[in-house]
């Protein structure tokens, strides 16, 4: 499908809303929502039942894949008042990897609270009750992953029942509402988290645009591996939005999902798909990439 046809496909489903949608908890917890127009639906929301947490609400939803109905937890960037709930989610759901797709401040606007200790050996405490506090420590193993602004930090999370090491990946070079120029980083990020048997927690600022894009790519790759048809990407978008409303916010992001998938199959694994890139199909692929680059520049 050509670039313009994909744009039309996105527009045709961009206002789609799942049948039976309710958002009671979202409206009852307005002070815990970063944006008033980014909905957290009831049907798939993460319900907290963690010691020391006064509310069961966090603006977060599960998104399932063929291998795990809770493969991802997609959430907003924590507010100052939701940091404790964020870390309670990490512990309750046995999260081993956090993927952060934004900076705390972008274009002079606060996008996410600094919810982890960035400095080596830094420590932050969450919760008013000393007996039930969650303590997050930077164990001093922070490093750059690759060349596209991804920082991996090892965090030690302690609470009354034990401790856990959590990997925190922050990709700093993905612009809000835009797309990266790099097609490889997102594949490497997914590969770094794939071995976990527990939910992978993903967030940007709103938790739907950049977050929805990376989850869509992961979902398609898992479906293909499971030999499940995913030829109609509009249906994939609906499937994701049925679990996390508003996922993939822009036409650019929708196109970027396709660009990364084409990169993965036709460039990263070029030898395996060499026949496709020869002759007529190769010409079509190169034309698609040219049209994609032109569309991204225009926007």
Which position has the token pair 């959590």? 166
Q: What are the residue numbers of the active site?
A: 204
Compute the distance between CA of residue 13 and CA of residue 183 in angstroms, rounded to an integer: 25
What does the DSSP 8-state code read for residue 112? S
Tokens of residue 89, six digits: 């989610």
Give whole-number Cα distances, 114 to 27, 100, 110, 152, in Å: 25, 11, 10, 15
Separation of alpha carbons 295 and 78, rounded Å: 33
**Regarding beta strands 200-203 and 162-171, do their DSSP bridges make them parallel or antiparallel, or are they unpaired?**
unpaired
β 109-110/105-106 pair status = antiparallel
């Amino acid at each position: 499908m050509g670039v313009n046809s994909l744009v039309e496909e996105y527009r045709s489903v961009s206002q789609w809303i799942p049948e039976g949608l309710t958002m009671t908890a979202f409206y009852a917890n307005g002070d815990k929502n970063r944006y008033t127009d980014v909905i957290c639906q009831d049907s798939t929301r993460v319900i907290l039942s963690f010691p020391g947490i006064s509310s069961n609400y966090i603006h977060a939803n599960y998104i399932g894949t063929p291998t795990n109905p809770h493969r991802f937890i997609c959430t907003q960037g924590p507010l100052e008042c939701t940091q404790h709930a964020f870390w309670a989610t990490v512990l309750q759901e046995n999260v081993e990897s956090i993927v952060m797709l934004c900076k705390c401040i972008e274009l002079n606007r606060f996008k996410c609270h600094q919810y982890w200790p960035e400095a080596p050996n830094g420590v932050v405490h969450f919760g008013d009750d000393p007996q039930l506090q969650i303590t997050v420590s930077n164990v001093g193993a922070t490093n750059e992953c690759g060349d596209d602004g991804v920082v991996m930090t090892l965090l030690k999370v302690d609470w009354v029942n034990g401790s856990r090491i959590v990997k925190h990946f922050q990709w700093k070079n993905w612009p809000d509402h835009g797309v990266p120029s790099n097609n490889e980083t997102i594949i490497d990020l997914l590969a770094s988290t794939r071995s976990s048997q527990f939910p992978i927690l993903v967030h940007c600022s709103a938790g739907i645009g950049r977050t929805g894009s990376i989850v869509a790519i992961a979902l398609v790759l898992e479906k293909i591996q499971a030999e499940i048809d995913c030829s109609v990407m509009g249906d994939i978008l609906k499937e994701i939005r049925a679990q996390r409303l508003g996922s993939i916010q822009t036409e650019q992001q929708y196109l970027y999902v396709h660009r990364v998938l084409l990169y993965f199959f036709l460039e990263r694994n070029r030898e395996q798909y060499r026949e496709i890139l020869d002759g007529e199909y190769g010409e079509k692929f190169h034309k698609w990439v040219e049209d994609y680059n032109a569309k991204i520049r225009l926007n």
